[in-house]
Amino acid sequence: MRRNKLSIAITGGIGSGKSEVCQWFGRHDIEVISADKLAHEALGAPSIQQELIDEFGDSIWREEQIDRQELGNIVFKDAKKTAKLNEIMHPYIISRINKMLETQTESILVFEIPLLYEAGLENLFDIIVMVWTSENVRMERLLKRNGMTERKIYEIMAKQFSQETARHRADYVIENNGSYIDLEKKLQELMLTLKQRI
Protein backbone atom coordinates (compact mmCIF):
# COMPACT_ATOMS: atom_id res chain seq x y z
CA MET A 1 0.00 0.00 0.00
CA ARG A 2 1.30 3.44 -0.95
CA ARG A 3 2.16 5.76 1.92
CA ASN A 4 -0.82 7.88 3.07
CA LYS A 5 -2.92 6.84 0.08
CA LEU A 6 -5.67 4.28 -0.47
CA SER A 7 -7.27 3.13 -3.70
CA ILE A 8 -10.62 1.47 -3.17
CA ALA A 9 -12.69 -0.57 -5.61
CA ILE A 10 -16.43 -0.72 -4.98
CA THR A 11 -18.08 -3.73 -6.57
CA GLY A 12 -21.22 -5.84 -6.34
CA GLY A 13 -23.89 -7.46 -8.46
CA ILE A 14 -26.49 -5.58 -10.45
CA GLY A 15 -29.05 -3.97 -8.18
CA SER A 16 -26.86 -4.23 -5.08
CA GLY A 17 -26.59 -0.47 -4.57
CA LYS A 18 -23.00 0.18 -5.69
CA SER A 19 -23.89 3.53 -7.19
CA GLU A 20 -25.65 4.60 -4.01
CA VAL A 21 -22.54 3.72 -2.02
CA CYS A 22 -20.31 5.62 -4.45
CA GLN A 23 -22.62 8.65 -4.31
CA TRP A 24 -22.24 8.62 -0.53
CA PHE A 25 -18.45 8.74 -0.87
CA GLY A 26 -18.80 11.56 -3.38
CA ARG A 27 -20.90 13.58 -0.96
CA HIS A 28 -18.07 13.22 1.54
CA ASP A 29 -15.58 14.93 -0.78
CA ILE A 30 -13.96 11.73 -2.04
CA GLU A 31 -13.34 11.46 -5.75
CA VAL A 32 -15.20 8.56 -7.37
CA ILE A 33 -14.25 7.23 -10.80
CA SER A 34 -16.69 5.07 -12.72
CA ALA A 35 -15.36 2.17 -14.80
CA ASP A 36 -18.41 2.60 -17.03
CA LYS A 37 -17.29 6.16 -17.79
CA LEU A 38 -13.80 4.91 -18.59
CA ALA A 39 -15.33 2.35 -20.94
CA HIS A 40 -17.37 5.11 -22.59
CA GLU A 41 -14.17 7.14 -22.93
CA ALA A 42 -12.47 4.13 -24.53
CA LEU A 43 -15.24 3.93 -27.11
CA GLY A 44 -14.29 7.43 -28.21
CA ALA A 45 -10.69 6.45 -28.97
CA PRO A 46 -10.24 6.14 -32.77
CA SER A 47 -7.94 3.10 -32.52
CA ILE A 48 -10.45 1.21 -30.38
CA GLN A 49 -13.33 2.27 -32.60
CA GLN A 50 -11.56 0.78 -35.60
CA GLU A 51 -10.76 -2.46 -33.78
CA LEU A 52 -14.39 -2.82 -32.76
CA ILE A 53 -15.67 -2.16 -36.27
CA ASP A 54 -13.18 -4.66 -37.71
CA GLU A 55 -14.30 -7.27 -35.19
CA PHE A 56 -18.06 -6.70 -34.97
CA GLY A 57 -18.98 -5.05 -38.26
CA ASP A 58 -20.19 -1.71 -39.60
CA SER A 59 -23.59 -2.03 -37.91
CA ILE A 60 -22.10 -0.76 -34.63
CA TRP A 61 -21.00 2.54 -36.25
CA ARG A 62 -23.80 5.10 -36.31
CA GLU A 63 -23.75 8.89 -36.39
CA GLU A 64 -19.94 8.99 -36.22
CA GLN A 65 -19.71 6.95 -33.03
CA ILE A 66 -19.98 3.44 -31.65
CA ASP A 67 -23.61 2.47 -31.03
CA ARG A 68 -23.33 1.00 -27.53
CA GLN A 69 -26.76 -0.59 -27.66
CA GLU A 70 -26.05 -2.37 -30.94
CA LEU A 71 -22.65 -3.50 -29.68
CA GLY A 72 -24.29 -4.81 -26.53
CA ASN A 73 -26.89 -6.70 -28.54
CA ILE A 74 -24.13 -8.42 -30.51
CA VAL A 75 -21.98 -9.52 -27.58
CA PHE A 76 -24.51 -10.04 -24.75
CA LYS A 77 -25.41 -13.67 -25.38
CA ASP A 78 -22.13 -14.78 -26.95
CA ALA A 79 -19.32 -15.55 -24.50
CA LYS A 80 -16.64 -15.57 -27.21
CA LYS A 81 -17.70 -12.15 -28.50
CA THR A 82 -17.84 -10.79 -24.96
CA ALA A 83 -14.30 -12.07 -24.38
CA LYS A 84 -13.15 -10.39 -27.59
CA LEU A 85 -14.78 -7.11 -26.59
CA ASN A 86 -12.98 -7.26 -23.23
CA GLU A 87 -9.70 -8.05 -24.98
CA ILE A 88 -10.05 -4.83 -26.95
CA MET A 89 -11.37 -2.60 -24.17
CA HIS A 90 -9.58 -3.70 -21.00
CA PRO A 91 -6.01 -2.62 -21.85
CA TYR A 92 -7.22 0.97 -22.32
CA ILE A 93 -9.22 0.93 -19.08
CA ILE A 94 -6.38 -0.64 -17.09
CA SER A 95 -3.94 1.92 -18.48
CA ARG A 96 -6.22 4.79 -17.44
CA ILE A 97 -6.69 3.36 -13.93
CA ASN A 98 -2.94 2.87 -13.48
CA LYS A 99 -2.30 6.44 -14.61
CA MET A 100 -4.81 7.76 -12.08
CA LEU A 101 -3.21 5.72 -9.30
CA GLU A 102 0.28 6.93 -10.24
CA THR A 103 -0.82 10.56 -10.10
CA GLN A 104 -3.16 10.22 -7.10
CA THR A 105 -2.91 13.16 -4.73
CA GLU A 106 -6.02 12.46 -2.63
CA SER A 107 -5.68 10.28 0.46
CA ILE A 108 -8.61 8.14 -0.72
CA LEU A 109 -9.60 7.46 -4.32
CA VAL A 110 -12.68 5.33 -5.06
CA PHE A 111 -13.41 3.38 -8.24
CA GLU A 112 -16.85 1.99 -9.05
CA ILE A 113 -16.19 -1.27 -10.89
CA PRO A 114 -19.21 -3.56 -11.35
CA LEU A 115 -17.24 -6.28 -13.16
CA LEU A 116 -14.13 -6.15 -11.00
CA TYR A 117 -13.60 -9.90 -10.71
CA GLU A 118 -14.88 -10.72 -14.17
CA ALA A 119 -12.26 -8.36 -15.61
CA GLY A 120 -9.50 -9.56 -13.27
CA LEU A 121 -8.84 -6.05 -11.96
CA GLU A 122 -8.83 -6.73 -8.23
CA ASN A 123 -5.02 -6.62 -7.91
CA LEU A 124 -4.90 -2.99 -9.03
CA PHE A 125 -6.42 -1.70 -5.79
CA ASP A 126 -5.44 -1.51 -2.13
CA ILE A 127 -8.90 -2.37 -0.83
CA ILE A 128 -11.99 -4.03 -2.28
CA VAL A 129 -15.41 -3.22 -0.86
CA MET A 130 -18.21 -5.58 -1.84
CA VAL A 131 -21.80 -4.31 -1.69
CA TRP A 132 -23.87 -7.41 -0.97
CA THR A 133 -27.63 -7.59 -1.34
CA SER A 134 -29.94 -10.61 -1.37
CA GLU A 135 -31.28 -11.73 -4.73
CA ASN A 136 -34.88 -11.00 -3.72
CA VAL A 137 -34.10 -7.40 -2.81
CA ARG A 138 -32.05 -6.91 -5.97
CA MET A 139 -34.88 -8.29 -8.09
CA GLU A 140 -37.41 -6.01 -6.39
CA ARG A 141 -35.23 -2.96 -7.06
CA LEU A 142 -34.42 -3.87 -10.64
CA LEU A 143 -38.01 -4.53 -11.68
CA LYS A 144 -38.69 -0.85 -10.98
CA ARG A 145 -36.22 0.16 -13.69
CA ASN A 146 -37.50 0.85 -17.18
CA GLY A 147 -37.13 -2.05 -19.59
CA MET A 148 -36.25 -4.61 -16.94
CA THR A 149 -37.96 -8.01 -16.83
CA GLU A 150 -37.29 -11.00 -14.61
CA ARG A 151 -35.83 -12.90 -17.55
CA LYS A 152 -33.46 -10.08 -18.49
CA ILE A 153 -32.37 -9.64 -14.86
CA TYR A 154 -31.60 -13.34 -14.45
CA GLU A 155 -29.64 -13.33 -17.71
CA ILE A 156 -27.50 -10.43 -16.43
CA MET A 157 -27.04 -12.03 -13.00
CA ALA A 158 -25.96 -15.30 -14.62
CA LYS A 159 -23.11 -13.51 -16.40
CA GLN A 160 -21.83 -11.82 -13.25
CA PHE A 161 -19.40 -13.20 -10.71
CA SER A 162 -21.06 -15.12 -7.86
CA GLN A 163 -21.95 -12.73 -5.05
CA GLU A 164 -21.18 -15.41 -2.48
CA THR A 165 -17.70 -16.03 -3.91
CA ALA A 166 -17.03 -12.31 -4.31
CA ARG A 167 -17.91 -11.48 -0.71
CA HIS A 168 -15.28 -13.92 0.55
CA ARG A 169 -12.63 -12.32 -1.65
CA ALA A 170 -13.41 -8.73 -0.63
CA ASP A 171 -11.67 -6.87 2.18
CA TYR A 172 -14.94 -5.38 3.43
CA VAL A 173 -18.56 -6.37 2.83
CA ILE A 174 -21.40 -3.88 3.12
CA GLU A 175 -24.78 -5.61 3.39
CA ASN A 176 -27.42 -3.44 1.77
CA ASN A 177 -30.75 -5.14 2.40
CA GLY A 178 -32.26 -2.47 4.64
CA SER A 179 -32.97 1.23 4.64
CA TYR A 180 -30.71 4.02 3.48
CA ILE A 181 -30.21 5.02 7.12
CA ASP A 182 -28.83 1.54 7.84
CA LEU A 183 -26.55 1.77 4.82
CA GLU A 184 -25.30 5.20 5.86
CA LYS A 185 -24.38 3.95 9.34
CA LYS A 186 -22.36 1.10 7.84
CA LEU A 187 -20.57 3.47 5.49
CA GLN A 188 -19.72 5.86 8.30
CA GLU A 189 -18.16 2.96 10.22
CA LEU A 190 -16.28 1.87 7.11
CA MET A 191 -14.96 5.40 6.57
CA LEU A 192 -13.55 5.50 10.11
CA THR A 193 -11.82 2.16 9.53
CA LEU A 194 -10.37 3.32 6.19
CA LYS A 195 -9.00 6.53 7.66
CA GLN A 196 -7.22 4.51 10.33
CA ARG A 197 -5.42 2.59 7.57
CA ILE A 198 -3.98 5.67 5.90
pLDDT (0 to 100) of residue 9: 97
Q: 35-105 — its CATH code?
A: 3.40.50.300
Ranges of CATH 3.40.50.300 domains, the chain:
1-30+108-198, 35-105
Give me the CATH topology for the region 1-30+108-198.
Answer: Rossmann fold (3.40.50)
The answer to whether the pTM exceeds 0.85 is yes
The sign of the CA dihedral 26, 30, 36, 38 is positive
pLDDT (0 to 100) of residue 1: 56
- Tens of pLDDT along 126-135? 999 999 999 9
2 has pLDDT over 80: no
Beta strand 6-11 with 108-112 is: parallel
Q: 197 falls in which pLDDT band (50, 70, 90)?
A: confident
**Mean pLDDT of all residues in 122-141:** 94
